[in-house]
Amino acid sequence: MLRLCYVVAVSLPFIAYYICKAHYIERHGGNFSEERRYRMARRCIRIMMRHGRIVTESTGQEYLPEEGGYVMYSNHQGKFDTLGIMISHPKPCTIVMDYNRSQLPIVDAFIDLVNGKRLNKSDMKSQVKTILEIADEVKKGRRYIVFPEGGYNHNKNDLQDFLPGSFKCATRVKAPIVPVAIIDSYKPFGINSLRKVKTQVHFLPPIFFEEYSGMTTLQIAELVKDRIAEEIHTRLSRCTA
């Protein structure tokens, strides 16, 4: 939390500018392509990372499908997770976020900038509608980040249960599922320190429809969780060896 407060304080002029810019883009969305929006979002992330002394190491970009939409499913550790994935993902992508968490001023503007989706967990009808909208956009070629654990309180590098329903965004349109393993992503805004910190983002080989076609969403959730858990265990074992 100390780093977050420091970054906000130091970056206040930039934050004010980009919030105003994001609101302008929201009002004139037709004049701004997804690529242009994404470039601006990544500039914001780079400024924040520089001021916060945050470095992200990433691998596996070669596994990302070249064409068409897909859904990335990542473990969830903290407020930096989305930023770490986006700064590591070269092509435009966006995020599905809990409605209540998305209402914070800076977060709200960022979600609008990248045309993200807000998921209202207290309204089942709204949830179904949002999932159908995401699936339709993925079918048309958009790329989404989803955190199937739902929350991140005290997760650190441990994994919680993955919610099967979150995989319907991909399975409904037979889209590729890309597991993403993040490591130490809780540290930037989860520990009270201003020391330089490094996080990791690892894109794993995609799971195509042909592989998961006969599986239930519960089985898919376990498969994705196991692959992410294995990657995290392997990476951390190397660090301690």
Q: Tell me what pLDDT residue 153 has.
A: 78
Q: Tell me what pLDDT residue 30 has.
A: 63
Q: Tell me what pLDDT residue 87 has.
A: 98
Residue 20's Cβ-side half-sphere holds a number of Cα atoms within 13 Å equal to 6
Could you state, in chain order, the average pLDDT of each consecutive group of 10 residues for the chain (241 residues)?
Answer: 75 72 69 87 92 96 97 95 97 91 80 90 86 96 94 86 95 98 94 91 98 97 98 90 60
